[in-house]
Amino acid sequence: MAPTGPDATSKGRPPAFEGSRIDRETWIDLARLVMVWAAAAVVLAFVREPAASTHHRVKETSDVYSLPPPEEMVAMSLGHRAAVADYLWATVLVEQGLHTQEKRRFENLPYLIETINTLDPTFRDPYLLVEALTVFQVNGVPEDDIRRARVVLERGVQNLPNDPEILTAAGSFIGLMAPSSYLSDPAEKEKWTVEGAGYLARAAELGDDKKLIGWQALGGFNLLRKTGRNREAILFLQRALAGTDDEELRERIKTTLDKLAESDTALARSEQRRGMQAFRWRADRFDQIWRATYPLASRTAALVMGPPYDSAYCAGGEHREDERCALDWAGWAARLEASSGPK
């Protein structure tokens, strides 16, 4: 039987508010909270206004370098030198962008780069990008920054002496970019030009044809010719010719050497001209042996493996002066010139 009475309708339902007294207290609390928020906002606005005005008026004009010297950073890295170097390199890239956006020079750049080099001397990216980071500054680039960038590049050459990309970067900056755009002393310009050509010559010897290092390094020839060092320019081309497998580049160098000899009357009659002819003759003979004996090897690999040695022909020492009995390419070249020489 269903229950009846005053409680019948309230069973199974949540109790309603007990009265308007609770609703009134709730609204009062909410009103007090809104008043507190409004008062806090007014106070914050009143206090913040002078600080905001100062912030908009004052501009940051210089950097503060807070890291210890590089040698102490090595100790503080606790053996994680590469990791700390990576972190600082990421900081350099971010700060460079922020300084450019704010139209400020990145004054801490050389100090951070030096610390990164000390932490990880074989980290290539700072060496390859230091030129771009240095010259891509607002309000001009002081000569001192150019000299610091050179120090970094030469540090990279010292730590990675067989890296043709770093050698090319050093040669291009020291021999081309800095003298033509940033240095003012004529004697210093000429000195940098010659020294930069030396780095490019070494890059041409080690160049990776896949990365067109040999083509980039040809700028060193123009630098030497510009400063009147014709003999060094010819030696530069000869080294580039001996170190590249790129047939197009080889033909370009040969054509340049021929034109240089034809246009310079004094050179055509000189001992250097005869040396150029002898070099070309040896290079052609080397190419013949290289392609016949080491058809699948690069020129560099052939130079490492040495000339082919005819054991049967050279047995007994009767033909020791023959080129086929040479144990290295230097001996092969000497025997070759002694036996026939360029015609």
pLDDT tens per residue across span 87-138: 999 999 998 888 888 788 888 888 999 999 999 999 999 999 998 888 887 7
pLDDT of residue 114: 93
Average pLDDT over residues 202-209: 70
pLDDT of residue 66: 82
Sign of CA dihedral 211, 214, 220, 221: negative
Considering the chain, what percentage of its residues have pLDDT values greater than 90? 17
pLDDT of residue 121: 94
DSSP string, 237-269: HHHHHHH---HHHHHHHHHHHHHHHHH-HHHHT
Q: How far is it, in rounded angstroms, from Cα 333 to Cα 279?
A: 10
pTM listed for this prediction: 0.61
pLDDT of residue 258: 72
Residue 97's Cβ-side half-sphere holds a number of Cα atoms within 13 Å equal to 5
Average pLDDT over residues 177-192: 86
Average pLDDT, the chain: 77
Nearest alpha carbon to residue 129 among 116, 144, 139, 143:
116
Q: How far is it, in rounded angstroms, from Cα 68 to Cα 297?
A: 50
What type of residue is 33? Answer: L
Average pLDDT over residues 258-269: 60
- pLDDT category at 55 given cuts 50, 70, 90 is low
pLDDT of residue 228: 67
More confident residue, 181 or 10: 181
- pLDDT category at 54 given cuts 50, 70, 90 is low
Q: How far is it, in rounded angstroms, from Cα 137 to Cα 63?
A: 14
Flag whether pLDDT at 173 surpasses 70: yes
- pLDDT category at 56 given cuts 50, 70, 90 is low
Q: How far is it, in rounded angstroms, from Cα 141 to Cα 135?
A: 6
Least confident of 132-136, 149-153, 190-194, 330-334: 330-334
More confident residue, 230 or 22: 230
